[in-house]
């Protein structure tokens, strides 16, 4: 329950800070109500803080969700854990294209280990399973842990249920509980014209797979050049790029969970080509943030970026399927490639899209698994 409550308080506090810095429109997924000078100054200043904290170096980096899951069986050094969490908070508040799952998992696991003082380490797995309730489904935590062969079913199952309860008690699901209410689910794939719909779903899955491959390759390229003499300036330069993006093409900035519903309702305004550009830029910016000290998670930016690409492709090719079909297939192809378990990708895709394009999501996942015959560069 403490894990779920901490996750809720973290996300609520970050949301309040984001609205105070960027304006109330951020909560609706709209452009920040700030001038260009403000948009450049805030992320650049945060980038300078991250550089001074050493967040761009391996010792000071906030672990990603997969790294936290892999280290559950081992007692990590506590030194630097608070600084890593603070860097994660600053990155989210600064408008980076990263999700909150890495920060939440890191904070919850370290809090659990601090409470138990090493006497019962597997409880950290239960706490983490409960905290993952902010995805909107009680199944996310168990499936994520099962993918890492975490033992003690009787610990993480009640931990998950208690974590969800604690999260809801602190209104942590307030921003996501409504889900995509009001967004039409679209016509099922089998009820559309068979050949065009199938072609659209297949193309969307391939595009999603390609986006994930490009993101992994981009991160590998950046990682290979991270030890240059400009390393200390990288967080600052990344912050400037985040600020410029939030002003010029706001859909490409921020984590993405608030942007998803207005995006699917086509309220954000960009034309088809700009939607595809914004989605692709969001993925590239997410990779740049992760490799330059702006650490966080990939799930929400990948979800929103892939959805933007899918909707943009639908607008460019309206004769091939509907928006839900394109959106679901691209998201399925991306998540199926980036997440360690196809079941986890399916559960998260269904939960976060609230069934929007569910049949195409499944087809996109299948395509990603068929193509995934060998490890991708940078994957792991």
HSE of 48 in the Cβ direction (CA atoms, 13 Å)? 5
Mean pLDDT taken over the chain: 79
In the numeric block, the tokens 């980096």 are attached to: 61
3-state secondary structure the chain: CHHHHHHHHHHHHHHHHHHHHHCHHHHHCCCCCCCHHHHHHHHHHHHHHHHHCCCCCHHHCCCCHHHHHHCCCCCCCCCCHHHHHHHHHHHHHCCCCCECHHHHHHHHHHHHHHHHCCCCCCHHHHHHHHHHHHHCCCCHHHHHHHCCCCCCHHHHHHHHHHHHHHHHHCCCCHHHHCCCCCCCCCCCHHHCCHHHHHHHHHHHHHHHHHHHHHHHHHHHHHHHCCCCCCHHHHHHHHHHHHHHHHHHCHHHCCCCCCCHHHHHCCCCCCCHHHHHHHHHHHHHHHHHHHHCCCCCECHHHHHHHHHHHHHHHHHHCCCCCCHHHHHHHHHHHHHHHHCCCHHHHHHHHHHHHCCCCHHHHHHHHHHHHHHCCCCCCCCC
pTM of the model: 0.83
Tell me what pLDDT residue 142 has: 63
* Radius of gyration (C-alpha) of the chain in whole angstroms: 20
Nearest Cα neighbor of 271 from 314, 320, 207, 329 is 314
Alpha carbons 317 and 311: distance in angstroms, whole number: 10
Task: Render pLDDT for 17-66 as a digit per residue (tens, 0 to 9).
Answer: 998 999 888 767 777 888 999 999 999 999 999 999 888 777 778 888 77
Please say whether the beta carbons of 45 and 51 come within 8 A. no
- Find the largest Cα–Cα distance for the chain: 61
Tell me what pLDDT residue 225 has: 75
| 156 pLDDT above the threshold of 70 | no
| 305 pLDDT above the threshold of 90 | yes
Alpha carbons 193 and 350: distance in angstroms, whole number: 24
Nearest Cα neighbor of 295 from 85, 49, 17, 59 is 85
Task: Render pLDDT for 207-260 as a digit per residue (tens, 0 to 9).
Answer: 999 999 999 999 988 888 766 656 778 899 999 999 999 998 888 989 888 888
Nearest Cα neighbor of 14 from 104, 82, 101, 92 is 92
**What fold characterizes domain 189-371?**
Clc chloride channel (1.10.3080)
Q: Which of 78-82, 241-245, 272-276, 330-334 has the lowest mean pLDDT?
A: 78-82
121 vs 357, residue with greater confidence = 357
Architecture of domain 2-177: Orthogonal Bundle (1.10)
Average pLDDT of 1-8? Answer: 76
Q: Where in the chain is the domain with CATH 1.10.3080.10?
A: 2-177, 189-371
């Amino acid at each position: 329950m403490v894990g779920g409550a901490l996750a809720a308080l973290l996300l609520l506090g970050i949301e309040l800070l984001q609205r105070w810095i960027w304006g109330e429109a951020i909560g609706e997924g709209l452009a920040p109500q700030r001038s260009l000078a403000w948009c450049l100054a805030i992320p650049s200043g945060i980038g300078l803080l991250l550089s001074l904290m050493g967040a761009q170096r391996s010792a000071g980096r906030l672990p990603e969700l997969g790294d936290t899951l892999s280290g559950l069986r081992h007692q990590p050094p506590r030194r630097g854990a608070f600084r890593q969490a603070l860097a994660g908070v600053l990155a989210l508040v600064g408008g980076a294209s990263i999700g909150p799952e890495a920060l939440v998992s890191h904070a919850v696991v370290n809090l659990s280990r601090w409470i138990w003082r090493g006497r019962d380490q597997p409880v950290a797995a239960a706490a983490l399973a409960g905290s993952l309730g902010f995805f909107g489904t009680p199944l996310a935590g168990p499936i994520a842990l099962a993918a890492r062969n975490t033992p003690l079913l009787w610990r993480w199952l009640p931990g998950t249920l208690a974590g969800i309860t604690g999260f809801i008690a602190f209104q942590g699901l307030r921003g996501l509980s409504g889900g995509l209410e009001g967004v039409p689910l679209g016509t099922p794939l089998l009820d559309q014209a068979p050949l065009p719909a199938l072609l659209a779903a297949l193309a969307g899955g391939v595009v999603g797979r390609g986006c994930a491959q490009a993101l992994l390759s981009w991160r590998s390229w950046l990682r290979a050049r991270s030890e240059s003499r400009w390393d200390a300036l990288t967080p600052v330069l990344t912050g400037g790029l985040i600020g410029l993006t939030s002003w010029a093409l706001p859909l490409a900035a921020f984590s993405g969970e608030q942007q998803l519903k207005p995006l699917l309702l086509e309220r954000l305004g960009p034309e088809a080509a700009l939607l595809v550009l914004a989605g692709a830029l969001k993925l590239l910016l997410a990779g740049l943030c992760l490799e330059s000290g702006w650490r966080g998670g990939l799930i929400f930016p990948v979800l929103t970026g892939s959805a933007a690409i899918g909707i943009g492709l639908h607008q460019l090719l309206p004769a091939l399927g509907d928006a839900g079909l394109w959106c679901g297939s691209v998201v399925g192809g991306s998540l199926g490639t980036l997440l360690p378990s196809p079941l986890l990708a399916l559960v998260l895709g269904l939960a976060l899209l609230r069934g929007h394009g569910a049949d195409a999501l499944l087809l996109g996942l299948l395509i990603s698994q068929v193509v995934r015959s060998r490890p991708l560069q940078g994957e792991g």
